[in-house]
Amino acid sequence: MNSFKFLKPYRMTMFVAIFFLLLELVVELFQPYILSKIINNGIVHKDLAYVSKWGIIMIVLSVVAFLAGVLNTFYATHVAQSYSFVLRKTLFEKVQSFSFTTFSFLPTSSIITRLTNDVSQLQSAVFMSLRIILRAPLIVTGSVIMALILNWKLSFILFLILPFLFMFLNWMVKKGRGLFKNVQENVDVVNSVLRENLVGMKLIKAFVRNDYENKRFQHINKNLKQKTSVALRTMEITMPVMLLFMNASILVVLWFGNSKVHTHETNIGDIVAIVNYISRITSSFSVFSFIISAFSRMRASSERIDEILTIEEDLIEKNEGNNLRNRLEGKIQFHQVSFRYPNSDKEVLNNISFLAYPEQTIAILGSTGSGKTSLFQLIPRLYEADGGSILIDDQDIRKMNSKQLRGQIGYVPQEALLFTGTIKENLLMGREDATDEEVYLAAKHAQIHETILSFPNGYESKIGQKGVNLSGGQKQRLAIARAIIRKPSILLLDDSTSALDLKTEASLIEALKNYKCTTLIITQKITTAKNADKILIIDEGQLVEEGTHDSLLNSSKLYKAIYYSQYGKEELMDVKGAN
């Protein structure tokens, strides 16, 4: 199991923990033995000196066992905590290396459960192994051995019973594993619905869907409860079965012991000690049901964690390929590109070819769902094209180091996503080493500088709950500033000016000219497309029209239709003035 190799650095500490566990165990196992001596030699012969001498020794041993137990817990905790820390860190780094293809197979909520809940399961499994789990089998084995040493004739019964018990336990472990895997999967579902609800709270309220969502959550919550109950209840069978077996063997010992005491073949001390050993075995067995459930959970969780650990790093994310030493010129060429998402059969892009020269501005129009965003995602290699090729500066991007390629692309996604932190921190995400002046300049070009200054803490204002709340258009402009601050060779704007008024948008587009980058703009607005060097119209994954505003206005019915539908609306706003 892969997930346990992270225990390696803690081998020494584990040995120390196990040493104290063994010490505690040995001391405990000798206690009934000493007790039998006290009864046989001291109490039966009324030898008070003998009784008090061994009595004191027993007390001292108890103190030793107690201290050993405390030290064992101390080291076991240390190992378990360090282990889960390293495991979480490794998993997090691994997840960061996933490509979008991997994400489409592993839902976010499942990844979250694995990084939190499953890691906790393993953490407590490690702790329990070092504290309880190891102890129970050792007490069982040790007690059997001690009982045999003390009086093998009386203890023989144990040999008949134990094999059956082990077979039973083995069967329970196998059963438990399946049941608990089921439980963890249900935890996944609960997490995913919870997450969806929290993210979409506004929508749920706006559509008055609270009742429906409550019912949905109750349903899956109930499922989780049921699955967990079934698993735990099944495990509970273990204990009564164990107790039955062990109490029966105590009866047998007492029965035979009684007759043998009468014939002086054995003595009372031995019987007391053996019954004592058997009850220790019983009490250890009684934690077995608990151990089995811990083990089954651990197996299930470790399989789920291994699944993440063993995912092959995607070729795209390996950052192999040719180094890009210089700034790219920004010539983009799509050559018969086709694409489908990894988990679907539908061809989202079909045979797309076009050419963008350095520093050109290309506008991309198309109805919703036509494949515009998908096309954009291929350029920084967030996804890999299935057919055809994409060349930048005449080089196939599949041969480029993806990290360096992305470093030269300013990508403003359709949903302007900002992170918790200050405005400045968000802008610096575009380029960590940007100076204050560069930050201000990028913000000015993105037409957001004045707005930022109007916030109480300016660039240091926190975004989100305890700080400033931003409008859709403000978020869009911050996302644009974040993209241009890195002075990209290629700028991708995915409907990023949709929330801006015409005047602001015009100033922004004018300012972008400073960056001398090839700019691809997805837009719904003719006013944005109008000034582009080239306009591409995409429909159902295909490039249906290509040309300038004027040429398309002459040749394309579709473009003309879009133009007049919008022109009619915007006449009042003085389109010419805005340009």
The footprint of ligand CTP (CB under 6 A) covers 341, 344, 348, 366, 368-374, 414
Residue written as token pair 């134990």: 162
Q: Segment contacting Mg ion (CB under 5 A): 56-64, 370-378, 548-556, 571-579? A: 370-378
Closest separation between CB of residue 384 and ligand CTP, Å? 14
With CB under 5 to 8 Å by kind, the binding choice for 371 among Mg ion, ligand CTP, none is: ligand CTP
Are the C-beta atoms of residues 35 and 280 closer than 8 Å to each other? no
Are the C-beta atoms of residues 184 and 113 closer than 8 Å to each other? yes
Closest separation between CB of residue 376 and Mg ion, Å? 8
**Rounded to 5 degrees, what are φ and ψ at 319?**
55, 35
Enumerate residues 386-415 that contact Mg ion by CB under 5 A: 414
With CB under 5 to 8 Å by kind, the binding choice for 374 among Mg ion, ligand CTP, none is: ligand CTP
Q: In the complex with Mg ion, which residue's Cβ is closer, 253 or 352?
A: 352
Q: Segment contacting Mg ion (CB under 5 A): 65-73, 98-106, 365-373, 430-438? A: 365-373
For residue 506, give the 3-state DSSP assignment: helix
Measured at the alpha carbon of residue 240, what is the angle toward residues 236 and 244, in degrees to the nearest 5?
160
Q: In the complex with ligand CTP, which residue's Cβ is closer, 256 or 341?
A: 341
Closest separation between CB of residue 571 and ligand CTP, Å? 25
Closest separation between CB of residue 355 and ligand CTP, Å? 21
Strand ranges for 272-325 from DSSP E:
none
Closest separation between CB of residue 398 and Mg ion, Å? 24
Distances (CA, A) of 394 to 321, 325, 332, 499: 15, 15, 8, 35
Closest separation between CB of residue 391 and ligand CTP, Å? 21
Task: Return the closest-CA partner of residue 258 out of 278, 272, 279, 276.
Answer: 272
Interaction of residue 110 with Mg ion, rule CB under 5 A? no
Q: In the complex with ligand CTP, which residue's Cβ is closer, 151 or 374?
A: 374
Among 266, 373, 496, 518, binds Mg ion (CB under 5 A): 373
Report how far residue 197's alpha carbon sits from residue 201's, in angstroms, rounded to the nearest whole number.
6
**Rounded to 5 degrees, what are φ and ψ at 510?**
-60, -45
**Per DSSP, what are the bridge partners of residue 545?**
537
Report how far residue 369's alpha carbon sits from residue 566's, in angstroms, rounded to the nearest whole number.
20
With CB under 5 to 8 Å by kind, the binding choice for 370 among ligand CTP, Mg ion, none is: ligand CTP
Closest separation between CB of residue 511 and ligand CTP, Å? 25
With CB under 5 to 8 Å by kind, the binding choice for 168 among Mg ion, ligand CTP, none is: none
With CB under 5 to 8 Å by kind, the binding choice for 96 among Mg ion, ligand CTP, none is: none
- Nearest residue to the partner ligand CTP, using Cβ: 373
For residue 359, the 8-state DSSP code is T
Task: Return the closest-CA partner of residue 474 out of 497, 456, 503, 502.
Answer: 497
Distances (CA, A) of 507 to 97, 503, 528: 38, 6, 11
What is the binding site for Mg ion (CB under 5 A)? 373, 414
